[in-house]
């Protein structure tokens, strides 16, 4: 009986042993589309072999750049106490696959949140009392990864109430965050490239509790001195139900809406600054009202990439949302991905 139990334990242990991971020498990325980039979403991926496999598949896809979310809440769980192991792992494997990493920084740790999160505030609520602490984190991050991660995005979609802690969105407040974080980033790494904006495409009017139209928000940012606080404009541009060639219009959300934001940059004298589209794509959920059919998603994605290459010389990268989630959401977000949680490539 004991022998049988021991044998069963050995079989279980060997069958559930974690794969041995060897990082290996850096590999070159072979690509026919140098602007291609993907949002990797490795933030909640625990197992190293899955991180390695994800990034290897990114290289095999032909993307040489990734956007990865680095939550402040995860990396500084207590003030002044940093936890870099997961980010170190991601960077090490990204380098081995020949990938450039763009780090998106945000998400407020518990110790930097108000004692009482009022008015439905969320973990995205950064109060002005903690702008300095966020800046300190940004400086620590850029210093640690200098020469390894040289592109950072300061916050995500600040024109949406959800991403602004369920508080009224305020372009001036975002400028204040940048005024603290950007000098700190440059203290940590004088060569850092700061991406800012990362606005959500939305038609919300002024005063809406949900957010503010991205075109209006960017205009307000420039009026508040935005040009002094960024090197590259981060843009989110989704196709929704439209083909990529559909012309832009102020009252339409489509792939070419980025051109309206570019016009604002030019109008305010920032024509020499590039754009990186840090989120883009189409969704093929069978019941989501903003989705397309699977065949359309394939065609639109490929045609959109080619359209950007041919018509947008000011775009450095077009990053598809999202490469893979660690676990399914069992809802429409799953239909943005290129690869399933089980690493099965989708027909795109």
Tens-place pLDDT, residues 104-133: 999 999 999 987 666 556 789 999 999 999
Collapsing DSSP to helix, strand or coil, 213 comes out as coil
What pLDDT sits at residue 45? 97
103 forms beta bridges with 68, 152
What pLDDT sits at residue 265? 99
Residue 76 is part of a domain; what is its CATH number? 3.20.20.80
Please state the domain count of the chain.
1
Q: At what angle do helices 85-96 and 48-61 cross, to 10 degrees?
A: 30
Rounded distance between C-alpha atoms, residue 30 and residue 9, angstroms: 45
- Domain encompassing residue 188: 38-336
pLDDT tens digits for 139-171?
999 999 999 999 999 999 999 999 999 999 999
Sign of CA dihedral 186, 312, 337, 283: positive
What pLDDT sits at residue 119? 56
DSSP structure string for 168-200 = ---HHHHHHHHHHHHHHHHHH-TTPEEEEEEEP
CA within 13 Å, CB half, 12: 6
Sign of CA dihedral 68, 103, 166, 206: negative
Q: Tell whether 297 is covered by a domain.
A: yes
Q: Tell whether 80 is covered by a domain.
A: yes
Q: Tell whether 76 is covered by a domain.
A: yes
Q: Tell whether 259 is covered by a domain.
A: yes
CA within 13 Å, CB half, 163: 18
Structural contact between residues 321 and 279, judged by C-beta atoms closer than 8 angstroms: yes
Rounded distance between C-alpha atoms, residue 239 and residue 283, angstroms: 9
Q: Tell whether 64 is covered by a domain.
A: yes
The single-letter DSSP state of residue 78 is B
Q: Tell whether 30 is covered by a domain.
A: no
Along the 348 residues of the chain, how does pLDDT read in single tens digits? 434 443 444 444 444 455 678 887 889 999 999 999 999 999 999 999 999 999 999 999 999 999 999 999 999 999 999 999 999 999 999 999 999 999 999 999 999 998 766 655 678 999 999 999 999 999 999 999 999 999 999 999 999 999 999 999 999 999 999 999 999 999 999 999 999 999 999 999 999 999 999 999 999 999 999 999 999 999 999 999 999 999 999 999 999 999 999 999 999 999 999 999 999 999 999 999 999 999 999 999 999 999 999 999 999 999 999 999 999 999 999 999 999 999 999 998
Q: What is the pTM of this model?
A: 0.93
Rounded distance between C-alpha atoms, residue 223 and residue 217, angstroms: 10
Q: Tell whether 214 is covered by a domain.
A: yes
What pLDDT sits at residue 117? 65
Structural contact between residues 242 and 255, judged by C-beta atoms closer than 8 angstroms: yes
Helix/strand number for the chain, H first, E second: 9, 8
Q: Tell whether 178 is covered by a domain.
A: yes
Peptide bond into 167 cis (omega under 30): no
């Amino acid at each position: 009986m004991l022998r049988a139990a021991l044998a069963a334990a050995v079989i279980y242990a060997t069958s559930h042993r974690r794969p041995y991971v060897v990082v290996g020498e850096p590999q070159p990325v072979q690509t026919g589309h140098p602007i291609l980039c993907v949002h990797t979403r490795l933030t909640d991926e625990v197992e190293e072999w899955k991180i390695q496999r994800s990034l290897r598949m990114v290289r095999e896809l032909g993307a040489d750049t990734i956007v990865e979310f680095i939550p402040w809440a995860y990396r500084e769980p207590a003030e002044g106490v940093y936890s870099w192991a997961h980010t170190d792992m991601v960077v090490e494997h990204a380098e081995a696959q020949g990938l450039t990493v763009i780090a998106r920084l945000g998400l407020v740790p518990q110790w930097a949140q108000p004692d009482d999160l009022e008015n439905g505030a969320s973990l995205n609520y950064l109060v002005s009392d903690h702008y300095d602490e966020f800046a300190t984190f940004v400086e620590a991050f850029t210093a640690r990864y200098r020469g390894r991660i040289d592109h950072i995005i300061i916050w995500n979609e600040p024109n949406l109430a959800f991403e602004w802690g369920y508080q009224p969105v305020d372009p001036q407040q975002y400028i204040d965050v940048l005024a603290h974080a950007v000098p700190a980033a440059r203290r940590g790494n004088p060569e850092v490239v700061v991406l800012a904006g990362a606005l959500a495409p939305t038609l919300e009017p002024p005063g809406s509790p949900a957010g503010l139209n991205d075109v209006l928000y960017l205009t307000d940012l420039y009026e508040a001195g935005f040009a002094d606080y960024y090197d590259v404009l981060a843009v989110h541009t989704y196709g929704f139900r439209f083909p990529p060639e559909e012309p832009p219009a102020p009252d339409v959300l489509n792939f070419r809406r980025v051109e309206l934001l570019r016009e604002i940059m030019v109008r305010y004298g920032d024509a020499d600054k590039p754009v990186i589209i840090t989120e883009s794509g189409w969704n093929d959920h069978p019941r989501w009202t903003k989705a397309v059919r699977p065949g359309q998603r394939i065609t639109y994605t490929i045609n959109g990439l080619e359209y950007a290459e041919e018509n947008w010389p000011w775009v450095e990268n077009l990053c598809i949302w999202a490469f893979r989630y660690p676990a399914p959401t069992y809802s429409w977000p799953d239909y943005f991905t290129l690869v399933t949680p089980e690493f099965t490539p989708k027909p795109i």
